[in-house]
Amino acid sequence: MKVRNSIRSVKNQPGSQVVRRRGKTYVINKLNPRLKTRQG
């Protein structure tokens, strides 16, 4: 799956992790929980 630019910008924040679950791409951030995103 191509990762959207909006997810790339969130991924570069400190504490972010890119996780693939059930075919969807998620970005989770324990330091700043507002930065949760999903693609797919």
Q: What is the pLDDT of residues 17-28, one digit of tens each?
A: 999 999 999 999
First to last CA, the chain: 8
If one counts every other C-beta atom within 10 angstroms of the C-beta of residue 10, the result is: 19
Domain residue limits, the chain: 5-39
Q: What is the pLDDT of residues 1-40, one digit of tens each?
A: 788 888 899 989 999 999 999 999 999 999 999 989 999 8
